[in-house]
Chain A
Amino acid sequence: MSAASPLLRLQGVTHFYGGGKGRNLLALDGVSLDVGHGDFLSLLGPSGCGKSTLLRLIAGLAAPTGGTIAWPDGKPTPGDIGFVFQEPTLMPWASIADNVRLPLRLTGRKATTGEIASALDLVGLGDFAQAFPRELSGGMKMRAALARALVTQPRLLLLDEPFAALDEITRFRLNEDLMRIWRERQCTVIFVTHSVFEAAFLSQRVAVMSPRPGRIVAEEPIDLPILRVPELRTDPAYSAICRKLSDRLAVAMSEPLMSEVGP
């Protein structure tokens, strides 16, 4: 799967928040990570450890305070990255179809109705193209946001806990759909989650992060068949991996917290 040079290389990425004197908050502390072409990487870590921050830095929405983020094969251009934020982030004044069409409009691509409809069908919102965001449930809004992120056929998908608000059945179904999309489009996925089970089911590799300031304390390759089928959820190999990830996470959580106040 992985080519000679990675898609993305993070080296010693550090990020501070806040500008007030003495009120700096160190969110990320020396994160180094290679993400290969076609990788499916999960970021697993406790709340507030800087997972969303890391995704924003990778997307170029903020510049890291320290360290570098390099794209050996060229920087992504608009439309190369799809981002699902932790909140649905839909435009309340536009229909779901128009929300999904937005990335195509902004990047000046022609959008056919068929494209929008198939993106919505993919997330099971085919009947809601003309609905407005307020008429959708929280989980449905997240699915609309996923359709929007997919519509430009991005090379890199950044997903920030996209399925946290969904019921188990829908989440399992979307997990499998996401697997299929990843396989078919050969894109790269960075997936943020709190759930050990989700991380184990989806990923080729899991990076475990420590509580604030976020550091990567373990990188676990997931030795399961590339194609994940629903039956896997009851497989002993899967359970063993979940247990291992849980242990890693527990170790990460028990490490002493560093001072929250930076220089």
Chain B
Amino acid sequence: MKALLDRLAPLALGLIGLALWEGLTRLYAVPVYVLPGPLLIAQTLWLDGASLLGSLWITLRITALALLAATLGGVGLAVVMAQSRLIERSLFPYAVIAQVTPVVAIAPLIIIWADNTTLALVICAWIVAFFPIVAATMTGLNAAEKNLRDLFRLYGAGRWQTLRLLRAPAALPYFLTGLRVSGGLSLVGAVVAEFVAGTGGAETGLAFRILESGYRLQIPRLFAALVMLAGAGIAIYMALDLLSRLILRRWHDSALKEPS
């Protein structure tokens, strides 16, 4: 009963909000090019859905490629840095620099350098997304219990054995936390990069559709695209959350079923 209420409460709140929004836009006769009501947005979503979905697909492809690159690059970098203090000291500052430099500032350069627009967009999104994975995985690689590390030393375990059997599994929950953050950031990165690139290629992603709708004052369509984008972000998060629960199911406290 309580569990049901927990689920219904946010839904009900959302519906009340939407109803208020619809009611107020009608009451004050707000022009649709300023703020369309939710019903109109839903209708636009229905009518323009097919063409918007095509654009969403393009954005999601860039997101997925960026997340893949961030995962491979992030884990690789973390493993390399975890090998020695010196390597970590020398590399980590550059990872931080890449993280704190606003991607909009370097995106034009990347677009000029990379001769393929898709590649340029993936690189931009990757820069935005990779840091959480690096930071989390690095913490995790050093998180194994001290006595366990001693146990491995006692049995003369080599560097590779220790990495594979001790440090990597210990890092897994941390990595998955980083992955969930990076999943959302990949989408943000892809959208920001598309904004900067404009209509660089023949394929136009969702971000460009948003820009275009703005220029043409097709505000309902802009909102429809936004709804789609938010939905995609939520779906990515939920998928990665589910993935990490499945992987950690048997041993990690974070994946425990909550008592209801």
Contact = CB atoms under 8 A, between A and B. Distances in A.
Interface stretch (A3-11, A103-111, A211-219): A103-111
Interface residues of A, number: 25
B151 interface: yes
A56 B150 contact: yes
A93 B155 contact: no
A89 B151 contact: yes
Give the contact-size bracket for chain B.
20 to 34
Interface in A93-122: 93-94, 102-103, 105-107
Contact of B166 (A78, A91, A107): A91
B252 interface: yes
B251 A106 contact: no
A105 B156 CA distance: 11
B54 to A, nearest CB: 42
A103 B251 CA distance: 21
B12 interface: no
Contacts of B166: 91
Given A87-B147, A105-B165, A93 B172 contact: yes
B154 A59 contact: yes
A71 to B, nearest CB: 15
Contact of A106 (B150, B152, B172, B252): B152
B145 A89 contact: yes
A123 interface: no
A92 interface: yes
A130 B152 CA distance: 22
Given A92-B251, A93-B169, A103 B155 contact: yes
Contact of B148 (A91, A103, A134, A152): A91
Contact of B157 (A59, A94, A106): A106
Interface in A62-82: 77-79, 81
Contacts of A83: 150-151, 154
B164 to A, nearest CB: 10
Interface string A10-26: 00000000000000000
Contact of B156 (A93, A94, A106, A134): A106
Nearest to B168: A93
- Name the residue in A103, A105, A106, A134 with the highest tally of chain B Cβ atoms < 10 Å from its Cβ: A106
A132 B251 CA distance: 7
Contacts of B165: 91, 102, 105-106
A61 interface: yes
A132 B250 CA distance: 7
A182 interface: no
A106 B154 CA distance: 10
B155 A107 contact: yes
Nearest to B145: A89
A102 B149 CA distance: 13
A238 interface: no
A89 B148 CA distance: 6
Contacts of A128: none
B155 A78 contact: yes
Contacts of B156: 77-78, 106-107
A94 B252 CA distance: 11
Interface string B162-174: 0001100110100
B169 A91 contact: yes
A133 B250 CA distance: 10
A103 B165 CA distance: 12
A172 interface: no
Interface in B144-197: 145, 147-148, 150-157, 161, 165-166, 169-170, 172
A125 B212 CA distance: 67
Nearest to A60: B154
Contacts of B253: 134
Contact of A85 (B147, B169, B170, B251): B147
Interface string B106-134: 00000000000000000000000000000
Contacts of A132: 250-251
A61 B251 CA distance: 28
A78 B154 contact: yes
8 interchain residue pairs of minimum CB distance: A78-B156, A106-B155, A89-B147, A93-B169, A106-B157, A85-B147, A92-B251, A93-B251
6 contacts: A61-B153, A78-B156, A91-B148, A92-B252, A106-B155, A152-B155
Given A89-B151, A106-B165, A134-B253, 6 more contacts: A61-B150, A78-B155, A83-B151, A94-B169, A102-B155, A132-B250
